[in-house]
Amino acid sequence: MGMTRTPLIAGNWKMNLDHLQAVALVQKLHWSLKDAQHDFESVDVTVFPPFTDLRSVQTLIDADKIPFALGAQDISTHEQGAYTGEIAGEFLAKLDCRQVIIGHSERREYHGETDEVVAAKVAAALKNGIVPVICVGETSEDLEKHGASAVPVAQLEKALEGVAAGAEIVVAYEPVWAIGSGQAATPEQAQEVCEKLREVVAAKLGDDAGQSTRVLYGGSVKSGNIASFMREPDIDGALVGGGSIKVDEFSSIIRFQKHVGV
């Protein structure tokens, strides 16, 4: 792990939990970490609830001074206006959303988000002072056809086209073939791709950005395998799906440094 990079554990709740369940989960997670005497400074934690939960979670985080950052799962390419059902970056910024997931494989697959849409969303996030968590990854067909890392590298290059040097971003590598399969990539496979993604950041945004940008692994991350990923030099954290809505499991993932002596 680079000295300058604080690990980031990001919990993507996907379409789970209403606002009452959201409040209960965040409270329980905070209590669980406090009970375990977790060092909150050692790892950054961001939760990404559905839009309908954001205000409730924001209010709770503020009131109880809970040291988690709040993130959103998507952002509109547009400013406010006649875009029914869309959520502007300005609205997210007002709710103190620090980060936003962009280009998740589910958005690319089910909503036809292209690399151009992803780039426009990255620009919208940065314009509003929100850190984009840019998701890239390949399907098993991509892997077979183009080889390891070719597709995620191309996706990231496109996503960063309009981004200024010095902008803060996070990159998340999700091998689509590993998501929800229970079959994670090996730490070596993930490291190989994350290293290439870091090279893209350095080439596009400068060496400093290459050093400071956090690259996450996402795809069947569990408390039992998180440590093996975090040992790799270019993996700075995880984008956790299903495991992030189970208090004990997510708490254990956040505390990876304790239970493995990384």
Please report the domains of the chain, with CATH numbers, ordered by start residue. 8-239 (3.20.20.70)
The answer on pLDDT for 240 being more than 90 is: yes
* Mean pLDDT on 4-15: 96
Active-site positions?
104, 174
Average pLDDT score over the chain: 95
Q: What is the mean pLDDT of residues 109-132?
A: 98
Which three-class secondary structure state does DSSP give residue 207?
helix
Least confident of 81-85, 151-155, 258-262: 258-262
Which position has the token pair 């309009």?
A: 162
Tens-place pLDDT, residues 165-202: 989 999 999 999 887 676 778 999 999 999 999 999 99
Name the residue with tokens 């939760």.
Answer: 47
Q: What is the mean pLDDT of residues 123-145?
A: 96
SS3 string, 140-162, reads HHHHHHHCCCHHHHHHHHHHCCC
| pLDDT beyond 80 at 14 | yes
pTM for the full predicted model: 0.96
Band (pLDDT 50/70/90 cuts) for residue 262 is very low
Tell me the percentage of the chain whose pLDDT exceeds 90: 90
Distance CA 65, CA 108 (A): 35
**pLDDT recorded at residue 259:** 63
Given a cut of 50, is residue 104 above it in pLDDT? yes
The answer on pLDDT for 260 being more than 80 is no
pLDDT at 3 > cutoff 70: no
| Residue count of the chain | 262
Separate counts of helices (H) and strands (E) for the chain: 12, 8
Residue 1: pLDDT band by 50, 70, 90 thresholds? very low
* pLDDT value of residue 24: 98
In angstroms, the CA 194 to CA 171 distance is: 9
- Alpha-carbon distance of 224 to 143, in angstroms, equals 26
> Residue 48: is its pLDDT beyond 60?
yes
Q: Determine whether 190 is exposed, middle or buried from the number of CB atoms within 10 Å of its CB (0-12, 13-18, 19+).
A: buried
Strands 131-136 and 44-48: unpaired
pLDDT at 82 over 50: yes
Q: Which of 130, 252, 148, 160 is nearest to 191 (CA)?
A: 148
Beta-bridge partners for 102:
134
d(CA 2, CA 175): 23
Exposure of 173 by Cβ count < 10 A (0-12 exposed, 13-18 middle, 19+ buried)? buried
